[in-house]
Amino acid sequence: MQIHVVKLDDSIWKIAQIYGVSSQQIIDANKLTDPGRIVVGQVLVIPTIGTVHTVHPGESLWSISRNYGVSVNDIVQRNHIQNPDSIPVGLRLYIPKPRLTIETNAYIDPRMTGTRTGEVVDEAGEHLTYLAVFIYAVNRDGTLTPVEDQAPLNAASNHKVVPILVIGNFEAGTFSTELAATILSNDSIQDRIITEALNVMAAKGYRVLDFDFEYLGRENRERYNNFLRKASQRVRAAGYNISAALAPKLNADQVGVLYEGHDYPAVGQIVDFIFFMTYEWGWSGGPPMAVSPINQVGRVMEYAISAVPKNKIMMGIPQYGYDWTLPYVRGGTWARSITPQQAVQLAIKYNVSIQYDPTSQAPFFTYADEQGRNHTVWFEDARSIQAKFNLVKELGIRGFFFWVLRGGFPQNWLLLEDNFAVRKRL
């Protein structure tokens, strides 16, 4: 894949001529609904031709893979080969470049995707190791409030994706410090939570239990560690893995109720892997800025690697942006969450250029709506995603995860396939 930033006077036809591909290939790859309308600064991924090998007599996929230094599985996937043991002489094969093998996860919230949940998982399934279903909320008596998870579980199974059950102190649509304190101060409630979670896992086929307990505060730090220790023993005894989601800390002593309850070194010793939530610098209730600025993500990862083994680290990557109505007033109207495609459609609708911030490595633009209100939009595009993929390669960590699957970002999956080979556990 090549990344092309639209310039003044560009057209899909002109771009296709530059790269030697058809206009339809560009339209299909980027899922353009109105190819005649593009804006300056819009990013397109271009499916350019790489190395092509023509199968000769006596060759096999194994011998071809050895010659080019890529795996048989990569060649099979890229060329959609149905029978790898029988390839005809004269077949033209696209040979992908060698890719780093990593693990991937995506969180999905069925309440957000509704009836499209299975469809959204189907779009991403071949690119995922895990799928985390958000969230079985923990109640004050230790029971769990479920979500409608059968559709995503069915889709995950179809794509050999390991399902992850997510539990957390989620109450009335938000994370509750007071609820966490109630749970973490009572051993019998904790025991019931673990029992309930294990029962759900056995009944529905979940293979990993993910603890997403947020806004714990310093007073619950060691209590949470002990809860995870207790849970890890029972979860592993039942034949499952255990994970945790942690806030993006820059150092061990970072102040704030979101950060102080998360102990990187301790949790890193207890669980099998960790989802570091490296996003929400720009958030719906805060001032306009990049959701996941690469400079800040790098700082979090630097501390994470100093505290947790690399083979347990999963870096977070957002699949969304925000549209802020200006002027920003603290406590005022919250920004609207949008997909990357929705962001580009807004820029096209209001005929404004998309800019790119080199420090955060994220795209943004401003526009005025029909009521004369000014807006600022920050989101993700192919450039910002490639920057994050490059960071993953540099760090040598276990992999990364996406928050949250909603559709509306086709370039993400094309770039993922171009950069990595996804490890499947099923």
What is the spatial distance between Cα 33 and Cα 293, in angstroms, rounded to a whole number? 29
Q: Which long-range contacts (CB under 8 A, 24 or more apart) does 32-38 make?
A: 33/345, 34/348, 36/12, 37/348, 38/6, 38/10, 38/11, 38/12, 38/348
Rounded to the nearest 10°, the torsion over CA 215, 221, 226, 228 is 40
H helices of 146-293, in order, are: 150-158, 177-184, 187-204, 221-237, 264-270
- Among all residues, which ones are annotated catalytic? 214
Give how far Cα 378 sits from Cα of 25, 109, 406, Å.
Answer: 27, 22, 17
Do the Cβ atoms of 263 and 233 come closer than 8 Å?
no
What is the spatial distance between Cα 414 and Cα 185, in angstroms, rounded to a whole number? 46
Q: Report phi then psi at 35, rounded to 5.
A: -60, -20
What is the spatial distance between Cα 161 and Cα 115, in angstroms, rounded to a whole number? 20
* C-alpha 333, offset from chain centre: 27
Do the Cβ atoms of 90 and 78 come closer than 8 Å?
no
3-state secondary structure of 187: helix
Q: To which residue do tokens 């209001």 refer?
A: 350
Q: To which residue do tokens 């999956």 refer?
A: 413
Do the Cβ atoms of 72 and 106 come closer than 8 Å?
no
